[in-house]
Structure 1
Amino acid sequence: MSQVKVAVVVGSLRKDSLNLKLAHALVALAPKEWTFDFVQIDDLPLYNQDLDGNFPAPATRLKQQVEASQALLFVTPEYNRSIPGVLKNAIDWASRPWGKNSWGGKPAGVVGISVGAIGTALAQQHLRNVLSYLDVESLGQPEMFLQAKEGFFDAEGKVSNPDTVKFLQAYVDRYVSFVSKHVGMGHSH
């Protein structure tokens, strides 16, 4: 299997973020030759079209990180039944200026974890709508709506339930297959 570079976008800034832990758990199950670049979004100013001609350095760095990757992995919490503003802000920056969408054409995984019973189902659906507009094809199945109950992650931040690890591995295997097919379609490595 060839090397693939994946830009990982975690939609939470919290130091002890469940979604950051989930992202690391998924990365640990991926092929060893794949690389995962965790994209920094916490220093982006709010998107302002007036800056399209003079991009701030953090937004330029974001675009470069996304453009250097062949695939995307979005790991999002759900805030008020949608994606966090910080995630939408990052998506908006890297889609600009008009005609210079850094996300376009890249395959994506969309996952998330929440303490709520429906996991991040609505946030993921909103995110998929946005990504579809930006010409990002997202893996449809399996869906991953995880509820973080007490003990979901152990003290080291690892997933403690073996059945859950199996579920995560099944997701990663499908994601790897989806990305490999996509990246193999006439794209040079």
Structure 2
Amino acid sequence: MQKKSIGIIVGSIRKDAYTKKIADFLISKTPEGYSLETIDIADLPLYNQDYDEADEPENYSSFRKKVKAKDGIIFITPEHNRSVPAALKNALDVGSRPHGKNVWDGKPCFVISSSVSGISGFGANHHLRQTLTFLNMPTLQQPEVYLPNVQDYFNDKGELIKEDTASFLIKSLKTYLDFASKFIK
């Protein structure tokens, strides 16, 4: 039986991003029958419609192929100014173009947001969901995952140390995979 392949888009491109640590935790808890892997967005040139009509950057082609090959997508985003980071918005734009070739189309997705404050990325989470609706991505509605004060969740080795959060993330991942399986052919 072929494993179902889920891509993880980490919204922050910072080297030691908390969102990357959350992704690593989820990857370490991948259940049998699935594979989870991050899809890097750090090297994507800013979306430019001129590339749709001429020489497409190799980074665009490679990124689009990786997303297209996935059965579903997990987005893990911090909040920047009550929205998603520019790198994440750029990745969404690159994947949705050129017009009529949206690689996100129909892929079931799951949104996790975090912040170093008590707001937990609420604005980014909901702004992202609005974009995902437009991109025709069925999005898991419950549970909603908002992680406040995320800097307190990890030890110096980057390991998740909050047991209640670990348990919640594992349960949420399972719920997402059950949801996604309804859309995966």
CA deviation after TM superposition for structure 1 residue 159, in Å: 1.3
TM-score (norm 2): 0.94
1:21 equivalent in alignment to 2:21: yes
1:55 equivalent in alignment to 2:56: yes
Name the CA distance, whole Å, in 1 between partners of 2:2 and 2:176: 14
Q: Residue 122 of structure 1 corresponds to which residue in structure 2?
A: 123
Q: Residue 110 of structure 1 corresponds to which residue in structure 2?
A: 111
For the residue of structure 1 that corresponds to 2:90, the secondary structure is: helix
CA deviation after TM superposition for structure 1 residue 27, in Å: 2.0
CA deviation after TM superposition for structure 1 residue 150, in Å: 5.2
Q: Deviations over 1:24-82 (max 9, x none)?
A: 11222221431123112111111110110221100111100000100001000100000
For the residue of structure 2 that corresponds to 1:52, the secondary structure is: helix
Q: Residue 68 of structure 2 corresponds to which residue in structure 1?
A: 67
Q: Deviations over 1:104-126 (max 9, x none)?
A: 00000100221111101110101
Name the CA distance, whole Å, in 1 between partners of 2:141 and 2:117: 22
> Runs (4+) of structure 1 moved beyond 6 Å?
none
Q: Deviations over 1:87-135 (max 9, x none)?
A: 0001101110000000000000100221111101110101010010010
Q: Deviations over 1:125-173 (max 9, x none)?
A: 0101001001001101101110135541122212112211111111111
Aligned letter for 2:143?
A: P
- Map residues 34-183 of structure 1 onto 2, 5 A cutoff: 34-53=34-53, 54-148=55-149, 151-183=152-184
- Structure 1: unaligned runs, 5 residues or longer: none
When the two chains are superposed, the root-mean-square deviation of aligned CA atoms in Å is: 1.4
Name the CA distance, whole Å, in 1 between partners of 2:93 and 2:120: 24
Q: Deviations over 1:169-189 (max 9, x none)?
A: 111111111111221xxx1xx
CA deviation after TM superposition for structure 1 residue 8, in Å: 0.9
Name the CA distance, whole Å, in 2 between partners of 1:123 and 1:150: 17
TM-score (norm 1): 0.92
Aligned letter for 1:122?
A: G
Name the CA distance, whole Å, in 2 between partners of 1:109 and 1:33: 18
Name the CA distance, whole Å, in 1 between partners of 2:124 and 2:148: 14
Q: Residue 30 of structure 1 corresponds to which residue in structure 2?
A: 30
- How many aligned positions are there? 184
Name the CA distance, whole Å, in 2 between partners of 1:42 and 1:149: 22
Q: Residue 5 of structure 2 corresponds to which residue in structure 1?
A: 5
Taking structure 1 as reference, are residues 150 and 51 closer, same or farther at Cα in structure 2, changes over 3 Å only?
Answer: closer
